[in-house]
Amino acid sequence: MADTPLDLTLDAAALTARLVDFRSESGAEKPLADAIEIALRALPHLTVDRLGNNIVARTHLGRAQRVVLAGHIDTVPIAGNVPSRLDEDGVLWGCGTCDMKSGVAVQLRIAATVPAPNRDLTFLFYEAEEIESEFNGLHLLSQSDPDLLQADFAILMEPSDAVIEAGCQGTLRIAVTTRGERAHSARSWMGVNAIHQAGAILDRLNAYEARKPVIDGLEYHEGLNAVFISGGVAGNVLPDVCTVQINHRFAPDRSEAEAAAYVREFFAGFEVELTDTAPGALPGLDRPAAKEFIEAVGGEVNPKFGWTDVARFSALGVPAVNFGPGDPMLAHKQEEFVPVEQVYRCESVLTTWLGA
Amino acid sequence: MADTPLDLTLDAAALTARLVDFRSESGAEKPLADAIEIALRALPHLTVDRLGNNIVARTHLGRAQRVVLAGHIDTVPIAGNVPSRLDEDGVLWGCGTCDMKSGVAVQLRIAATVPAPNRDLTFLFYEAEEIESEFNGLHLLSQSDPDLLQADFAILMEPSDAVIEAGCQGTLRIAVTTRGERAHSARSWMGVNAIHQAGAILDRLNAYEARKPVIDGLEYHEGLNAVFISGGVAGNVLPDVCTVQINHRFAPDRSEAEAAAYVREFFAGFEVELTDTAPGALPGLDRPAAKEFIEAVGGEVNPKFGWTDVARFSALGVPAVNFGPGDPMLAHKQEEFVPVEQVYRCESVLTTWLGA
């Protein structure tokens, strides 16, 4: 272990600060996973399983419902923003304050302070959410041990400004490529410039109009954006290839296959390669567990635009929402912060809802 | 020395093969420069100066005119195409056969076999033509020792299919940049996509119509081409910058400043940075030395589209043409070759013109 264990008697804000200072960039989660495991094993009302740097802690009280509280323990690379700093306005600054060690702190506080909840609880702390999907701890567990994740409802404690965000949009990436013919740029009429041809791809993107379907009363908002463009051989050569990498975000009323068909049709006539795809998640707000939680939080629900791991729970048949402290727009920013008031509020809402 | 000296009694084709097999990629010209220097110092009718890997050998016969025969001794990187191979059709294959060791072989043959030419001769063998201009041996000599290059006429023995190519087009490069605003691609309406904005740059390029001015009876052909495009931050981020690198080739009736003004006007409204510029060279076919040489070759003259070092002679006030064996379209290609017949023809034309 690289550090001392965690003290779960700290309040949720102090515990957030402690977790932020306990560096855990993706790929280097082990010391923090060790500390969390030790802290949880000290709690007699929980059983603890560990797989890799993923920790699953559960109550076994025979309740009618089981609820998952999930959070990832890794962060994006630290950018001079550790250690954390609490300012005089009650704002905690630092890498992971928002995404999502404040959510993890709330999970740990509930684990420590609600030994007899009115619903059985499964606490999931997982690794590698900020990097390629193949390393994602929740993904790996959903493949290797889906039973550990079974529940009536899941709350993913990603930042949502302490408001419920339901469902999530799907995401897919395509590479749209033009092919020309190389020639020396001094005799350009001998070739075909693939970058010039890509103008027609950008023209289509500029003509795109986003669909905004309403699902379960929530208005989603799709998107179609170039995220990379590249082409070029040398400063005196007409390029023969130009590739535009495009990210499509689609509302959860469309499947991955439907979204893929849409972009292929949109770029009809071009060479289109599907490189990455992940399904959206329907809000599922008609499920009893979801309804009860919405009521406990006060009724406000927003649509989730970004893709999150709620889709992985959806795929397992577990309705899931995002609910956690911090502004999701601050995730991955150097100037990331969380208002400690939101940390306390999330803890309080959950504690009350769980009947403590 | 990495190799044995050169035997200038070989015929021009055999000497070309020998030079091709004597590897001299840019930056590694020293062994070949050493061999050329030794071979030239053995010729009593020449004085020899060496600066870096540049060799200047001159006759001092008191003739009314002085002519430069110039060639670079470096090649682009070898691509499995050395040693050279002579096929049954009299075609010599290999790196540098065309660009431009066949021209260098002709220079060396003239140096060895025409001890009393009717014009004083300056043979220039220089390094680093295939890489950044700052390393170019002719450029460096024109700065440090312009007197060594003074002449009434210069023949640059770059490949021209053994036909005179006169003048050359200028070249300039600009970077045209769009700037947007980053946002998560799941909430794209919060940002401005710089790649999408670059569509308007490509639209202008696609609307470009090339100017084709006729100068001294030669039709030039301008060009405006994207040679690189790049933009992108991450697969889930709207890019805030997109840059298109554009190469403009301009006919020699326009100065660098006029060409720069043209592209700035063409891309009015965009951020334009001039990154590189080199002037064209007017054909100068009205000069007596040029007229006499054209007559000797048989009268045919083509415009030179690509930028070549003739522009450096032009800038020194020395009219210059390209005239050498090999198809210029094959330069820098893996399947580079030269018909040996063209090597002999160039040697023969020069030998005759020089009164031997």
Judged by CB atoms closer than 8 Å, whether chains meet at A225 and B249 is answered as: no
Task: State the Cα–Cα distance between residues A319 and B96, nearest whole angstrom.
Answer: 68
Which residues from A are below 8 Å from B223, CB to CB? 185-189
Tell me how crowded residue B147 is: count the other CB atoms within 10 A of its CB.
Answer: 8
Shortest CA distance from A209: residue in chain B: B189
Q: Which residue out of A29, A99, A127, A129 is catalytically annotated?
A: A129
Whether the CB-CB separation of B156 and B71 falls below 8 Å is answered with yes
CB B178 within 8 A of CB B241: yes
One-letter amino acid of B16: T
pLDDT confidence of residue A4? 62
Nearest to B351 by CA among B131, B119, B167: B119
Band (B4; pLDDT cuts 50, 70, 90): low
User: Would the CB atoms of B225 and A193 count as touching at under 8 Å?
Assistant: yes
Strand partners, A331: none
Percent of chain B that is helix, strand, coil (3-state, to 5)? 35, 25, 40
Per cent of chain B over pLDDT 70 is 99
Residues on chain A touching B245 (C-beta within 8 angstroms): 232, 235
Q: Judge residue B163's burial from the number of C-beta atoms within 10 Å of its C-beta, 0-12 exposed, 13-18 middle, 19 or more buried.
A: middle
Among this protein's residues, is A165 annotated catalytic?
no
Encode chain A (356 residues) as per-residue pLDDT tens digits. Answer: 344 679 999 999 999 999 999 999 999 999 999 999 999 999 999 999 999 999 999 999 999 999 999 999 999 999 899 999 999 999 999 999 999 999 999 999 999 999 999 999 999 999 999 988 889 999 999 999 999 999 999 999 999 999 999 999 999 999 999 999 998 899 999 999 999 999 999 999 999 999 999 998 999 999 999 999 999 998 989 999 999 999 999 999 999 999 999 999 999 999 999 999 999 998 888 888 888 899 989 888 999 998 889 999 999 999 899 999 999 889 888 899 999 999 999 999 999 999 87
What is the separation of C-alpha B90 from the centre of its chain, rounded to a whole number of angstroms?
A: 26
Count Cβ atoms within 10 A of the Cβ of residue A298 and give its class: 0-12 exposed, 13-18 middle, 19 or more buried.
Answer: exposed
Rounded Cα gap, residues A327 and A101, in angstroms: 13
Q: In a mutagenesis test of the B interface, which of A98, A225, A336 is the best target, namely the one with the most B β-carbons within 10 Å?
A: A225
Test A238 with B227 for CB contact under 8 angstroms.
Answer: yes
Token pair 């400690």 is at which residue? A340
- CA-based nearest distance A138→chain B, Å: 20
Shortest distance between the Cα of B224 and any Cα of chain A, in A, equals 8
Q: Are strands B153-156 and B214-215 parallel, antiparallel or unpaired?
A: unpaired
- Whether residues A249 and B221 touch (CB distance < 8 A) is answered with no
The model's pLDDT over B168-205, given as tens digits with 9 standing for 90+, comes to 999 999 999 999 999 889 999 999 999 999 999 999 99
CB pairs under 8 A between A and B: 161
Would you call A189 and B221 a contact, using CB atoms and an 8 Å cutoff? yes
Select the residue of B195, B205, B235 nearest A229 (Cβ to Cβ).
B195
Cα B243 from Cα B178, distance rounded (Å): 7
Q: What's the confidence (pLDDT) of residue A284?
A: 83
> Which chain B residue lies closest to A276 (C-alpha atoms)?
B235
Higher-pLDDT residue of B57, A317 = B57
Q: pLDDT tens-digit profile of B250-278?
A: 999 999 999 999 999 999 999 999 999 99
Pick B235's closest partner by Cβ from A173, A188, A235. Answer: A173
Cβ-nearest to A232 among B187, B189, B227: B227
What is the predicted ipTM? 0.82
- Tokens 């103008």 — which residue? A199
A222 to chain B: closest CA residue: B186
Token digits for A344?
């306390």
Cβ B200 vs Cβ B207: under 8 Å = no
Closest chain A C-alpha to B253 CA, distance in angstroms: 16
Residues of A in contact with B225 (CB under 8 A): 185, 188, 193, 195-196, 238
Tokens coding B304 = 């030179």
Within 8 A of B173 by CB-CB distance, chain A residues are 235
φ/ψ of residue A346, rounded to 5: -60, -45
Q: Which residue of A has its CA nearest to B196?
A: A202
User: Which residue has 């690289």 as its token pair?
Assistant: A2
Q: What single DSSP character describes residue B244?
A: E
DSSP-derived letter for residue B78 is P
Tokens linked to B201: 């740059």
Contact residues, chain B, for A307 at CB < 8 Å:
186
Assess contact for B178 and B151: CB atoms under 8 A: no
Residues of B in contact with A336 (CB under 8 A): none
Minimum distance, in Å, between the CA of residue B202 and any CA atom of chain A: 5
CA distance to partner chain A, nearest, from residue B331 (Å): 10
Separation of CA A316 from chain center: 17
Would you state the pLDDT for residue A1? 38
State the number of CA atoms in the 13 A half-sphere of B149 facing the CB: 30
Measured in angstroms, the CA of A139 and the nearest CA of chain B are apart by 19
Rama region for A161: left / alpha / beta (φ>0; ψ in -120 to 50; rest): left
Instruction: Write out the two tokens for B202.
Output: 């490509």
pLDDT digits (tens, 9 = 90+) for A183-205: 889 999 999 999 999 999 999 99
Instruction: Return the amino acid letter for B220.
Output: Y
Residues in chain A with CB shorter than 8 Å from the CB of B276 are 235
Given an 8 Å threshold on Cβ–Cβ distance, is A169 in contact with B186?
yes
Rounded to 5 degrees, φ, ψ at B345 are: -65, -45
Cβ atoms of residues A231 and A198 within 8 Å: yes
- Chain A residues closer than 8 Å to B202 by CB: 195-196, 198-199, 202
Interface touch B229/A225, C-beta < 8 Å: no
Distance CA A250, CA B276 (A): 44
Contact A306 B189 (CB under 8 A): no
Closest CA to A24 of A34, A13, A9, A39: A34
- Poorest-pLDDT segment among A210-214, B87-91, B229-233, B333-337: B333-337
Q: What CA–CA distance (Å, rounded) separates A336 from B36?
A: 65
* Distance of alpha carbon B349 from alpha carbon B352, whole angstroms: 5
With CB atoms and an 8 Å threshold, state whether A227 touches B237.
yes
Query: What local confidence, expressed as pLDDT, does residue A163 receive?
Result: 95
Q: How far is B334 from chain A (nearest CA, A)?
A: 14
Q: What is the phi-psi region of residue A62: left when phi exceeds 0, alpha when psi lies from -120 to 50, beta otherwise?
A: left
Among candidates A232, A236, A249 on the partner chain, residue whose Cβ is nearest the Cβ of B186: A249
The H or E element spanning position B266 is helix B256-266
CB under 8 Å to B59, separation ≥6 — which residues? B45, B46, B115, B117, B120, B121, B122
Cβ within 8 Å, pair A186-B223: yes
The verdict on a CB contact (< 8 Å) between B242 and A225 is: no
Q: Do A190 and B329 touch (CB under 8 A)?
A: yes
Query: What phi, psi does A282 have (nearest 5°)?
Result: -65, 150
Using the 8-state DSSP alphabet, how is residue A302 labeled?
E
Interchain pair B305, A187: CB under 8 A: yes
pLDDT for position B299: 82
- The residue of B158, B204, B220, B227 whose CB has the most chain A CBs within 10 angstroms, and thus the best one to mutate to test that interface, is B227
pLDDT > 60? residue B2: no
Q: Predicted confidence band at B224 (pLDDT cuts at 50, 70, 90)?
A: very high
- At B231, the amino acid letter reads G
Q: With contact defined as beta carbons under 8 Å apart, do B157 and B104 qualify?
A: yes
Selected residue with higher pLDDT from B146 and A133: B146
Strand A241-250 with A223-232, pairing: antiparallel
Measured distance CA(A194)–CA(B226) in Å, rounded = 9
Q: Which of A227, A238, A275, A276 to mutate to test the interface with B (most CBs of B within 10 A)?
A: A227
CB contact under 8 A, B226 and A276: no
Contact B120, B67 (CB under 8 A): yes
Which residues of B are catalytic, by number? 74, 129
User: pLDDT tens, B279-324?
Assistant: 999 888 888 888 899 998 988 899 999 888 999 999 999 989 999 9
- CB contacts of A132 in chain B (<8 Å) are none
Average pLDDT taken over every residue of chain B: 95
Task: Determine the pLDDT at residue A2.
Answer: 42
Q: How many helices (H) and strands (E) does chain B have?
A: 11, 19
Q: How big, in percent rounded to 5, are the helix, strand and coil portions of chain A?
A: 35, 25, 40
Closest Cα of chain A to B199: distance in Å?
A: 5
Active-site residue, from A29, A37, A74, A240: A74
To the nearest 10 degrees (0 to 180), the angle between helices A340-353 and A102-113 is 40
User: How far apart are alpha carbons A151 and A312 in whole angstroms?
Assistant: 13
